[in-house]
Amino acid sequence: MSKSIIEKIRARQATVGVIGLGYVGLPLAVEFAKACLKTVAFDIDIEKVEKIRSGKSYIGDVPDDEVGAVVAAGHLVATSDFSELATVDMVDICVPTPLRKTGDPDLSHVIAAVDEIAKYLHPGQLVILESTTYPGTVDEVVRPKLESGGLKAGTDFHLAFSPERIDPGNTEWHTRNIPKVVGGVDDASTQAAAFLYEQIVDLVVPVSSATVAEMVKLLENTFRAVNIGLANELALMCGRLGVDVWEVIEAAKSKPFGFMPFYPGPGLGGHCIPIDPFYLSWKAKQKGFESRFIELAGHINAGMPRYVVERITDALNSRSRAINGSRIHLFGVAYKANVSDVRESPAIDIALLLQERGAVLSYSDPFVPHLSEKTLVLGAIDQEVALTDGIDCAVITTDHRGFKYEEIARLAPVVVDTRNALKDVDASNIFKL
């Protein structure tokens, strides 16, 4: 079975399906298509499907011309008709995996995708899950659903997990040059999935099982979350001691061994770092294990927006003003620099806290011209208008490259810099974390 699918891939006679066309799925589908593998891209969002059909991209990391070229060549087609799954030889699942309000994993998108695949599953097919989830998801959730029709994983079809590692906005690391970890439910599944990715990725790293591959992704993001939590706690400590935390980290990273710099900030954002560690701690609790480092880091990171509000209070108090009634302008609402993604953005949490305290809010963000938050009143205005229109406080919540930082420092009465964007500016009106 594995020889058959590998030969089809090698001969460019295989059809690849990708379910979910967001930051992970669209770049992946385009890379498969660029490798001259016929690619069918699935999404329930009709607007995304129509964009792709017209040769346009809605993801900043994927240029329009790349989408247009593979669509024009017939290598990439987009559809919302999941019956087309019957025509694909392999299918990659790239759907969201958020947390429920209770903190439990929400696999509803994964389950919906797997249910569709199960309807059209056929012998020899390869199914790969890329969505980040807890260790055991492939064996405990995906496999039973796919096998419910009578076909068996490892005997009748291939099944594997390969964690996505996309970093939106990163111009150095992208789909092709980020190594790809692959783990199947058996050796043949690992080999088939690895060979598929070798067509589009420079380095594939096979591991012994799907569960190991699932654990790899959670280790990567938990490592970051815990170390960012340490950096954030250090920022709180340095604030009490009257020490510049950024100077401390800059000096510490001069050590050529035994230290890796992580930086504090207004809180964690995006779809991965604030969420993935809790998938791991949730699974650990099912086995009677308490993940104390993970829980503590989560507590510290979640508290950073409130600390930023404290610093805004300090900044305004230095001008004999209160938050209530003050005009506060946020520079950036995306969760990180140079992307349009506002998922779990700490800027939103900061804005909500300021709104509760009676602040008059506005924002500038070249990547997010419109913001839809039902409980938040936050109008977008141009950064230069904001700086000349009588704001009381500027808050740098996202260090986008398009902001004029020297003007912010010069024109705003007080500035709270949560990203060390003004590290080269020495002015008494600047308040850091």
CA atoms within 13 A on the CB side of 391: 30
Round to whole Å and give the CA distance between 57 and 362: 29
Q: Give SS3 for 93.
A: strand
Closest CA to 91 of 211, 177, 215, 192: 192
Characterize the bridge pairing of strands 76-79 and 38-42: parallel
Q: Is the overall model pTM greater than 0.85, yes or no?
A: yes
Round to whole Å and give the CA distance between 246 and 209: 41
Span 127-183, pLDDT tens digits:
999 999 999 999 999 999 999 999 999 999 999 999 999 888 888 999 999 999 999
CA dihedral (286, 290, 291, 297) positive or negative: positive
Instruction: Assess contact for 283 and 135: CB atoms under 8 A.
Output: yes
Q: Give SS3 for 426.
A: coil
Span 215-228, pLDDT tens digits:
999 999 999 999 99
Closest CA to 44 of 92, 99, 82, 83: 82
Round to whole Å and give the CA distance between 104 and 98: 9
Round to whole Å and give the CA distance between 369 and 307: 27
Round to whole Å and give the CA distance between 33 and 81: 19
Radius of gyration of the chain (CA): 24
Name all domains of the chain by residue range, CATH numbers in brackets.
Answer: 2-208 (3.40.50.720), 247-432 (3.40.50.720)
**Per-residue confidence of the chain (433 residues) as pLDDT tens digits?**
678 999 999 999 999 999 999 999 999 999 999 999 999 999 999 999 999 999 999 998 999 999 999 999 999 999 999 999 999 999 999 999 988 877 788 999 999 999 999 999 999 999 999 999 999 999 999 999 999 999 999 999 999 999 999 888 888 999 999 999 999 999 999 999 999 999 999 999 999 999 999 999 999 999 999 999 999 999 999 999 999 999 999 999 999 999 999 999 999 998 788 888 888 999 999 899 999 999 999 999 999 999 999 999 999 999 999 999 999 999 999 999 999 999 999 999 999 999 999 999 999 999 999 988 778 888 899 999 999 989 999 999 999 999 999 999 999 999 999 999 999 998 999 999 8
Q: Which of 94, 238, 272, 393 is catalytic?
A: 272
Please confirm, yes or no, whether 272 is among the known catalytic residues.
yes
